[in-house]
Structure 1
């Protein structure tokens, strides 16, 4: 890529992140949608042993954009910050949505990461981003979470009275 294209690309990304406000995230994910996501996670986790956390971020800081921090890097940072790795079976799964970059990233701890293929994770992300491109945040998020629950239920089904101490991560989506 030429220097001019890199500069234009960086400027465009900066503008997207400047325009990405918390209010824009709340418009895309209103209270009813956040409650539906929370209910979906709670119901889905009754079928498998994984723990799912959804974090939605309107935009990155300008410093992060300037450093060329990717959505994937940010997802890993949030995975650590919110201790999604800290589950008894190492089965935490972060679904990270970066609205300004139009990206969805899934970061899975080793327990869940071993049983679902990279292609399967990517398909869940594709369902969300395709829906988001149409402005369908509510339905595409719920559809993707249903896919995720199906994958995890097949790979690591919940068995009777699970020995792990119940719900280890909050089901409530976090909007940053």
Structure 2
């Protein structure tokens, strides 16, 4: 457990997510998700968590493990074609994780998701949070469109609104 990480999470905490992602930005992210889902039959969720607290923080939970918890909690795995994708940002660590259901993950693989994550993190390092998220949504959507093109009417199985934790 790193004292530096604990301090960063305690100082930044949840207010930072609301500062970086005000409602107007969240609305544009929601619109980007909605528009992207017209190009494929998959489902995309974006979650930003300002910082870890309590038990996850003091047991030094990695962002990947936390993203898996969020993926399960939000039931992103519960889609008809197993093609739900979570883009998770742990803001205090500026760490992006993409968790994809088995249908799409088998086609894109860890290396493909990692490339998208690193591009998003580069944008965040430059202070460009909104373009980073929208670019990440577009990149994930390109993968979904390639492997799960729209095939007639498909219901919106998951909410498009971003989640701020």
> Normalising to structure 2: TM-score of the pair?
0.95
- Partners of 2:21 and 2:142 lie apart in 1 by 23
2:77 corresponds, among 85, 88, 110, to 85
- Tell me the CA shift for residue 128 of structure 1: 1.1
Q: Does structure 2 conserve the Cα–Cα contact (< 8 Å) formed by 1:17 and 1:62?
A: no
> Which position in structure 1 is the counterpart of 2:159?
170
> Which position in structure 2 is the counterpart of 1:38?
30
> Which position in structure 2 is the counterpart of 1:150?
142
2:20 corresponds, among 28, 43, 46, to 28
1:99 corresponds, among 91, 95, 98, to 91
> Which position in structure 1 is the counterpart of 2:53?
61
> Which position in structure 2 is the counterpart of 1:127?
119
Confirm or deny that 1:136 pairs with 2:128.
Answer: yes
- Structure index of larger Rg: 1
Q: Runs of at least 4 residues of structure 1 off by over 6 A?
A: none
- Partners of 2:87 and 2:66 lie apart in 1 by 12
1:52 corresponds, among 41, 44, 52, to 44
- For structure 1, the 5+ residue unaligned runs are 1-6
> Normalising to structure 1: TM-score of the pair?
0.89
- Partners of 1:31 and 1:149 lie apart in 2 by 23
- Tell me the CA shift for residue 160 of structure 1: 2.3
Paired residues, number: 165
In structure 2, relative to structure 1, the CA distance for the partners of 1:142 and 1:36 (3 Å cut) is same
